[in-house]
Amino acid sequence: MTDISFLLIIFFLVTTVFMTTQGILLKLPSPETEPQRLHLDEIILIEMLGPAEYSVNKSILTGVEELARQIEASLETLSDPVLVLMVAGDVAYQEVLKVLEISKEAGVSSFSIQYKESEPRGLRIEEKRL
Amino acid sequence: MKIRVRKKSYGVTMFAMPDIAFLLLIFLILTVSVDEQGDINLPDFKFLQETDFPETMVVNVTAEGEYGISGETVDRRLLELTLDRLPETTVIHLIADKESRYSHVDGVLQLLQEKQLLDVVLIMEEVKNTENE
């Protein structure tokens, strides 16, 4: 009995030590704060229209490789842009993360993810500069 | 005349050992966290951070778009009631299935924003290296 209980203790100790959580930390914008205003030439606008169907700054693309090339091309002309990702409702969560991964690999450091049908959170995109 | 001196044993008694073992066992069983992930397949991502926060609450989103709290399925009303009671300093661990629609994940994010729970960790797993397989 004692041996069994010691074995169980060792098992619990080993399994709890290795239980760590990994993820991405987000700080959501407060609903009371004024949304950040960004002009169209400060952003890379990616729309996820469906599974593996993207548009970068309104030009339709098919395929992840083309998307990566477009982001890299945009980064050459813009300095430290914000990547705004507009996602359609039926796109899978993993697909959204895949686009984030590609953008991060390309060198984008600021992101905003918006669901197409909902109210934008903390960001207002303006066609013309005020 | 030979005087016999009784040798006294100074060894540590081990009678209490099983009791200690059982106490430790009960402690570990009670403190180990329950399976908060449920039936959810975590999405993978390359750039992850280790997260360790004292005050956390786990919100789940299944592939079918059902909500859960710490692995227990709840409806939206109950989810809202639970989130209402949390202090604003609580860090929410959002565990969503990789096949779930983004609209369901966004629904939870909007709800958290409404309840002023602004610190969220999207729980994922590291990309597995499949090159050697």
ipTM of the complex as predicted: 0.75
Check B93 against A89: CB less than 8 A apart. no
Question: Could you give the number of structural domains in chain B?
Answer: 1
In a domain, A59, yes or no: yes
Question: Could you give the number of structural domains in chain A?
Answer: 1
List, for residues B72-91, the tens digit of each pLDDT value: 889 999 999 999 999 988 99
Residues 67-106 in A contacting B (C-alpha not used; CB under 8 Å) = 87-97, 100-101, 104-105
In a domain, B19, yes or no: no
Q: pLDDT at position A118, please?
A: 61
List, for residues A25-43, the tens digit of each pLDDT value: 888 888 888 877 877 778 8
Strands of B56-61's sheet in order across: B49-51, A21-27, B119-123, B91-96, B56-61, B67-69, B72-74
In a domain, A104, yes or no: yes
List, for residues B30-42, the tens digit of each pLDDT value: 776 656 666 788 8
> Chain B within 8 Å of A18 (Cβ-Cβ)?
no
In a domain, B17, yes or no: no
Q: pLDDT at position B11, please?
A: 72
Residue of A nearest to B101 (CA): A92
Q: pLDDT at position B131, please?
A: 47
For residues A67-102, b (16+ Cβ closer than 10 Å) or e, as one string?
bbebbeebbeeeeebbbbbbbbeebbbbbbbbbbbb
In a domain, A101, yes or no: yes
In a domain, B72, yes or no: yes
Instruction: Show the domain range for B51.
Output: 44-126
In a domain, A14, yes or no: no
Rounded Cα distance between B40 and B118, Å, is: 23
Share of chain B above pLDDT 90, in %: 20
Q: pLDDT at position B79, please?
A: 92
Please report, in angstroms and rounded to a whole number, the separation of the first and last CA atoms in chain B. Answer: 82
In a domain, A83, yes or no: yes
Kindly indicate the confidence band of residue A130, based on its pLDDT and cuts at 50, 70 and 90. very low
DSSP summary character for residue A42: G
In a domain, B36, yes or no: no
Kindly indicate the confidence band of residue A51, based on its pLDDT and cuts at 50, 70 and 90. confident
CATH classification at residue A63:
3.30.420.270
In a domain, A13, yes or no: no
Q: pLDDT at position B80, please?
A: 92
Check B121 against A94: CB less than 8 A apart. no
In a domain, B3, yes or no: no
List, for residues B10-68, the tens digit of each pLDDT value: 777 777 777 888 888 888 777 766 566 667 888 888 887 777 766 688 899 999 989 99
In a domain, B30, yes or no: no
Q: pLDDT at position B82, please?
A: 92
The pTM (predicted TM-score) of the whole model is 0.73
CATH classification at residue B76:
3.30.420.270
Instruction: Show the domain range for A118.
Output: 30-126
> Do the Cβ atoms of B68 and B76 come closer than 8 Å?
no
